[in-house]
Structure 1
Amino acid sequence: MAANTSEPEICQSVLDFVIEGAYPASETIIAADFPVSALSRELDLLAKAREQVESEINALSQGNNFDADGWISQAKQLHADIERSRATARDIVAQHENTEPLELKVHDATAKVGLIETEIEFNQAVTSTLEEVQRLCQQLDAGRTFLAEGKVMDAIDTLEETDIAVRRENLFTNTNVMHILLENVCELRQEITNFLQNSWSELLHIDKLGAKLTLCQTTEHSLEDTIAALTRLDLLAPAVDKFQKSLLAAIIDPILLPALHSHSRRVQASGSSIEIDLQASKSTVAEVLDRIVDVLKFIRHNLPSSITNSFPDSFIPALSSKIISSWLSSAIPTELTGLVEFENTLDHVLKFSRTVESFGWHGHEELVSWVNQAPRLWLTRRRVDSLDQVRRVLAASQGNTKQVERVEKEEVSPTDEALLENATTDDWDAGWDDDNDPETKRPGHGSKEEEEDVSAWGLDDDDDKEDLPESKPDASQDDDGEAWGWGDEDEEEQQPNTEKGNSQDMAKPVNGKNAAHDISSREVTLREQYTVTDIPECILGIVRQQIADSETISQPMHSNSRVVSSGAGLLALPTLILAMFKATASSFYGIKLNSGQMYLYNDSLYLADQVRDLAEEHQLSRLQPDVEALEKFGKLSYSKEMQTQRTIVTDLLDGAQGFSQCSEQPYLGECENAVSATVDRIRDVYKEWQPILSQSACLQSIGSLVSTVINKIILDIEDLGDISESQSQRLVSFCNQVSLLEDLFTPETSDDTTERVPMTAVYVRSWLKFQYLVNILESSLADIKFLWTEGELGLEFSPEEVIDLIEALFAESDYRRKAIAEIRRVARDRQIAL
């Protein structure tokens, strides 16, 4: 040790040496290997030893004398103590390691003890649960035993107790056991329900096949006990409801017999049963109501109030509805002769309602309301019956036809009279109608914008125009509209037969000039025959019946009738009858009759004339709109048929393809077929319509179709830019073929010596123009110029039309230019003169 080392330093070094020697770093005891208490004690000893060393060192340092040998021996002693402490610690660690297997054995034994205790508790719970299930099952078995012995109330008590126990027991919550027990409870409930239903059916036995109700009272099962049991299970209301339905089906329906009108079955009631006879017999409403009253009395006297209390809520209203639908509705008379019996029926219905009310029941209010609405119901029945008669008339019609005569008196001038004298009886209308042609009010006849045929029908020339259902691409389709005098708002003027009230138009001259009415005109009677079916007379019979009954019911003999207030309402039925005819006639006529639309046209106008006379006779101004609507309906039917035929002939003529290259094959053959088919079609239509329409109407209609054809031919020829000589010849032959239709407009005369002059120009508005076109096609340039300057070609053709035809027929030359210049000069002179 160094001589200069101080005592404190030496002491500290010694102390460090001792500690390091006792606990070297490489041999430090790991705390984790020691028990905590042993280590704590060793550390305390070390701390105390160190404090002792430090105190001694401090004491030495304070003195002058320092005994190093003593200090070293003490340090060695301390080192030895520390070694002993370390050995002791190692012993402690070793002993600690030997206790772990024992601790594991202790833990294992503790777990086994807990498992055994849990198993014991589970077994005890299972045992208690099974005991409870056994008890509940025994209760259910006891309930079945009660039910087998007829102790229904005890069975119900057991059922309810078991049900409550199952649902209340906490052991069964959300377990299969609970579901099984609930199923068993439901099975017992169903068994009790079936038992009660069988008992109910035995006590209140309804034989649907035998139509019999029997009340059976037994000592074992009384009706009161069954009702009480059903009430406990909330089954009484469904049982009573089912009983009511069975009662209606088995007892009430056989009395009412909805399927067999005016027939019913008698009722036989005894002390405990009520039976309906199987044999039906003719019965009145009063007898049926009395039989139902007998059934209600039997039910009220023999059934307890717990059953009958619900009758006013469902049974009586259902019964009232059945009575109304089965008997009362059909008891409403359609003839005035049945009003007395109907009044008696209403009295019996009120009596029946009072009887039901005396039982303390309600639900009969529908019957009382039905009686109060008798006037309206009677009028409704009349309306339905009258409309149904219209349907039956149309369905039953065999298409029988007859000739009727139309007679009109008109004022005619001497000029018109001379025309009529020259014409035959059947052709009066054609000549007279031509006087009214709106074309005669103009200097010329050839304008495409003009419409035709007003004259042939004798209609006024109204300014109002009516939209037609068909489009009108050319004048050929315009003819029929003006032939009816249709306007935008007045379809009533669309009629091909002469109308009343047109005498002022009769005075117009035949030649088409505007002449003043001759003061010395006189009245002539005009007659014409046309064909109608048997339907209008049947419809008129229905209309007359409503008017006659309306007048009859206002007589004093019916003053006390409940329905007298609806008498005026009968006058509204003719309007509905005519509306029903218009709504359904088109389909019937189209199915049952050839040319049904033309028959419908004739029938509508004939019916309109008859209804007009009927309205004037009975001063029913309210029917005037219906008359006008009928006329409008008839004219619309005519218009549809005409448009159909115009479309057909136009389509046939379209096969000529505008007569382009008509002199060359195969176009020549197509043109020939098209013209031939068109002519044949018009002749077929004439044969079909001639027996139906009046002579003038038939000629007017055929004239309209011919106008359609020739107008299209004229337009097609005018549209040809260049016409060769061979084409011109073919066009002339085609036009001549169409001209053969002129024989359809030749009047028949009783005198064979009288020359018959065709009246084609009267009925075909463009006929003269068509004939002039033929002349132009086969004439020279000089002849055409002569016809324009000296003839009447200018009345049918405009200058531009003639010039276009000349340019198409003749090649460019000085003669053609001079002829065209002359035509234009004459046209200007005429225009200036006008």
Structure 2
Amino acid sequence: MSTNDQLKQAIVDSVEHGAYPEPDISSAEVPSTLLPALLTDLQQARDEVKVSNIRSLSKDIAPDVDGWIAQAKKLQADIERSKATARDIVAQAEAGKQLKEKTHDAGNKVGLLEKEVAFNESLATTLELIRSSCRILDRADQAYVNNDLRTALDLTKQCDSSIAALSAVQDTRAVGLLQTRSSRFKANFLDKTTALAQSLLQCDIDARSVTIKGNVPEVPAVDLELIVDILTYLGGLDIYIRRLKRDIEFALINPRLSTKPGQHTVLQLDGACISVSDTSSKPDTIATLDDIWTALHFFSTHLPKSVCEPLSQKLLPSLFETLTYSWLDQTVPVQIEQMPVFQHILDRVSRLAEQIDALNWSNTVLLKDWVQNAPRTWLSKRRETALGAARSLLFSRLRDRKTVERVETQTVSKGDAIIGGTDIDEADDAWAADWEEDAPETKEVEIKKPVPTISDDDDDASAWDMDEDDTSVPTESAGTKASGEDAEEDDAADAWGWGDDEQVTEETSKPDSPKKAAKASTTKQPTSSGDRELTLRETYTVTAVPDGMLEIITQVVSDAEILTDPSYSGSPIGPAASALYTLPTFVLAMYRATASTAYGKLDSGNMLIYNDASRLADQIRSFVNKQAEKDATSTLPMHLRPSSRLRLDNDIKALETFAKRAYSAEMESQRTIIRDMLDGAQGFSNCNAEPFASACESAVSITEGRLRDVHKQWTPILSRSALLQSSASLLSTVLSKMIMEIEEIQDIGEEESKKLRQLCDKMSEVKDLFIQEHPQGGEASDMTGIYCPNWFKFQYLGELLESSLADIKYLWTEGELRLEFDADEVTDLIEALFSDSDYRRKAIADIRRS
């Protein structure tokens, strides 16, 4: 309840109860703002009391109410005095505020005046600095004009310091103009200093000389050290050193290290001048290294250290690089005999590096690395030389051909199954007829790269990042892939004479078979046990490649053997000895990789590859065996002997496989051509009616001509046995196709059978290719049946085409027809040749039962 309400309630209570206590309404308890309202309320309450209780109040109460009113008026007067006092206080406060604002304004004016004073003082200082800088710049310019470069440098430094103090006002136009003037002065100063430097250190590219002077006559007080100080301060030293390095290279280094034909030069000293002069003879590497040291020592003596150090950092790397590639690498010898000279060069290079290090110049790492890598460098060059010689040989000596002889001696006993008879002469002839040159198998053999065993002795070779055994075999040609057809597999086997031994054995047991004659020159020598030694000789054609390859390999092994000798223990390339034994593998890999391309330009290139690769494999095998025999008496430790370090077995196998693949690829190519030609006969059906008759005759004639052409092409290349075997393999392909297609004809008339017999006889004319003259002038032998496994079957087929049923039955029961045909083949031919009858059925039944 508010105070006003309390007072009103007190008055009401007093009136109601007849008591009028005097309430305490001092100004301390009643807010001044409530007094007027309270007084009004009291007057209203009084009036109300008077009106409402006028009759009930006694006259005794009236003085008390008046007291209340008097007290209220007094209180109102106090309030008025308080208000007046408050107004005075407010007025005084407003006056203080105005005074404070005036004081603040006065303070601002004082601060502004202080800033103005400071600015004026700063402006005066700045203007003084600008004027001082201009005066210093003027003095520097005057010193520059008077060629007093030391004073000009000092004043330039002072001017830069003065201008640096103006960093706070560097964006002003006055300072900008000052900086521009300073930059122009320093640019002119730098140009003049650079010109003086070139006058002190003159590089005459046309005269190929460099002259260093102590001073310039026009400016005697200037020397190189002052020039370097000025260039360093002005930031032009690096540019000058780059230009100086370029001029020295053009004037001295490049002419002296040039290897152009007819340009032989040496360095000459004449006091403070070094120049390049021509000479009649080419200086050796030692003289070149001496000249390099002469030039470097000249610069270290006549140039201050402040020039030599940055110049060496830029000049030496390019100098050593040019020296290494133009001279040092070219002096690496290939021949072992030149090692002493190479050792002298290595010593001189090491000494040159030490001399440069004594000058406290850096960047001699390239020279030191070259000396340390000398064995690797020599080995790389030796390998490049060997591979380059192999490649050059392969592409340049293929036209050089020669006839070589292959000799093989075997001991055969009388009871040996290969002889197959009691007659010694006839048995020898049969054995010789069955002998063949080792021919490659046509079955695909997966060549797995062997994992070389690494021993302590191999560590040296592995250090050269070279594989010990690289037996990579060239990718198989498309013609050597298995076709999956039985006929082609049989043809591939026939290409190498598989089953020829069994064929010969069977033929020798036949009473009606043609007599077989020896196909190679034989020499018979009886032994003490009664056995016979037969020496078989054959000749064939090879190029100059195998002998050349063998010569390269033997030279590499010889070099490795020499380096292994204790006398070469101190040789700089001694550590490369063990790695040399891997080079033959690389040479042979190079041969296998490039032979197909090189031989592909020749007629019958694959057959030449077969001969060359086979001969090379034989030569390497013989060389390895001889080396092993030689090492048996060597005094070297076992792990240092060449025979223990050479690992050529896998390479020999790879060569043999390579030869087989080349032969197989050629045979498959020729078979494909022959089959395509024979396809022109269209299965020999209706061969007696045009136009089929002409097509059949043409196909057979073309195929026969192709066989003769290929035989003629191979005759000067292959040995006699390989020639007969290869030609017979192609003939066997032709005969197999003709037999198969004739047997597939369902109905063969009389005229058609005669025509087919004529075609068979036409194809049989190629037997003259297999006639072998007797070495002693005896009767010639027909070797067709020996080399062509289906020759007799084809002959029987020709006879069957014009035979009667009785003849066919007799040949089956009493002759040798069943040796070539099976019962189903014969019955199918009978059904195709003869019409159905009781006699045919009876003949077929007899054939099936027998």
- TM-score under structure 2 length normalisation: 0.67
1:333 alignment partner, SS class: coil
CA shift, 1:354, in A, is 1.2
Instruction: Give the Cα separation in 2 of the matches to 1:708 and 1:187.
Output: 97
Point out the more displaced range, 687-696 or 246-255: 246-255
2:581 alignment partner, SS class: helix
CA shift, 1:526, in A, is 1.0
Give 2:310's aligned residue: 310
- Over 3 Å counting, the alpha-carbon distance change for 1:202 and 1:660 in structure 2 is farther
1:567-625 deviation line (CA, Å, top 9, x unaligned): 3333332222222222223322223x432221221111112111111111111262222
Point out the more displaced range, 519-528 or 396-405: 519-528
Q: Which amino acid aligns with 2:703?
A: T
Contact persistence 1:416–1:507 (CA under 8 A)? no
CA shift, 1:520, in A, is 6.0
Give 2:544's aligned residue: 534
Q: Does 1:580 align with 2:580?
A: no
Give 1:681's aligned residue: 706
CA shift, 1:540, in A, is 1.6
Point out the more displaced range, 816-825 or 679-688: 816-825
1:118-146 deviation line (CA, Å, top 9, x unaligned): xxxxxxxxxx9xx9xx99xx99x989999
Q: Does 1:477 align with 2:502?
A: no
Give 1:811's aligned residue: 835
Write the mapping of 1:683-698 to structure 2, written as runs, cut at 5 A. 683-698=708-723
Point out the more displaced range, 375-384 or 154-163: 154-163
Gaps of 5+ in 1: 1-127, 434-455, 486-494, 499-504, 827-834
Give 2:372's aligned residue: 372
1:403 alignment partner, SS class: strand
1:343-371 deviation line (CA, Å, top 9, x unaligned): 21121111111111111112222322322
The partner residue of 2:204 within 178, 190, 207 is: 207
Give 1:738's aligned residue: 763
1:567 alignment partner, SS class: helix
- Over 3 Å counting, the alpha-carbon distance change for 1:484 and 1:665 in structure 2 is closer
Give 2:246's aligned residue: 245
Instruction: Give the Cα separation in 1 of the matches to 2:180 and 2:760.
Output: 100
Q: Which amino acid aligns with 2:507?
A: N
2:281 alignment partner, SS class: strand
Give 1:795's aligned residue: 819
The partner residue of 1:646 within 651, 659, 671 is: 671
Instruction: Give the Cα separation in 2 of the matches to 1:339 and 1:377.
Output: 13
Give 1:62's aligned residue: none
1:412-455 deviation line (CA, Å, top 9, x unaligned): 2446398995699xx9887123xxxxxxxxxxxxxxxxxxxxxx
CA shift, 1:464, in A, is 8.8
Instruction: Give the Cα separation in 2 of the matches to 1:799 and 1:188.
Output: 119
CA shift, 1:507, in A, is 13
Q: Does 1:666 align with 2:691?
A: yes
Superposition CA RMSD, Å: 4.3
Give 2:28's aligned residue: none
CA shift, 1:626, in A, is 2.1
Contact persistence 1:479–1:707 (CA under 8 A)? no
1:291 alignment partner, SS class: helix
CA shift, 1:182, in A, is 10
1:733-790 deviation line (CA, Å, top 9, x unaligned): 22211111100001023555x3323111111121112112212222233333333333
- TM-score under structure 1 length normalisation: 0.68
Give 1:432's aligned residue: 434
Q: Does 1:298 align with 2:298?
A: yes
Instruction: Give the Cα separation in 2 of the matches to 1:561 and 1:214.
Output: 42
- Over 3 Å counting, the alpha-carbon distance change for 1:458 and 1:341 in structure 2 is closer
Give 2:47's aligned residue: none
- Over 3 Å counting, the alpha-carbon distance change for 1:744 and 1:276 in structure 2 is same
The partner residue of 2:737 within 694, 709, 712 is: 712
Instruction: Give the Cα separation in 2 of the matches to 1:719 and 1:181.
Output: 113
CA shift, 1:301, in A, is 1.2
Write the mapping of 1:739-818 to structure 2, written as runs, cut at 5 A. 739-750=764-775, 754-818=778-842
- Over 3 Å counting, the alpha-carbon distance change for 1:522 and 1:163 in structure 2 is farther
Q: Which amino acid aligns with 2:406?
A: R
Give 1:86's aligned residue: none
- Over 3 Å counting, the alpha-carbon distance change for 1:629 and 1:198 in structure 2 is same
1:416 alignment partner, SS class: coil
CA shift, 1:253, in A, is 2.5
The partner residue of 1:511 within 507, 512, 528 is: 507
CA shift, 1:695, in A, is 0.3
Give 1:26's aligned residue: none
Instruction: Give the Cα separation in 2 of the matches to 1:313 and 1:238.
Output: 14
CA shift, 1:397, in A, is 1.6
The partner residue of 1:416 within 403, 406, 419 is: 419
Give 1:81's aligned residue: none
2:402 alignment partner, SS class: strand
1:779 alignment partner, SS class: coil
Instruction: Give the Cα separation in 1 of the matches to 2:565 and 2:712.
Output: 53
Contact persistence 1:289–1:352 (CA under 8 A)? yes
1:356-390 deviation line (CA, Å, top 9, x unaligned): 11111122223223223333333332222222221
Contact persistence 1:428–1:526 (CA under 8 A)? no
Contact persistence 2:211–2:272 (CA under 8 A)? yes
Instruction: Give the Cα separation in 2 of the matches to 1:555 and 1:332.
Output: 21
1:266 alignment partner, SS class: strand
Point out the more displaced range, 804-813 or 385-394: 804-813
- Over 3 Å counting, the alpha-carbon distance change for 1:751 and 1:566 in structure 2 is closer
Instruction: Give the Cα separation in 2 of the matches to 1:791 and 1:362.
Output: 99
Instruction: Give the Cα separation in 2 of the matches to 1:268 and 1:603.
Output: 58
CA shift, 1:184, in A, is 9.9
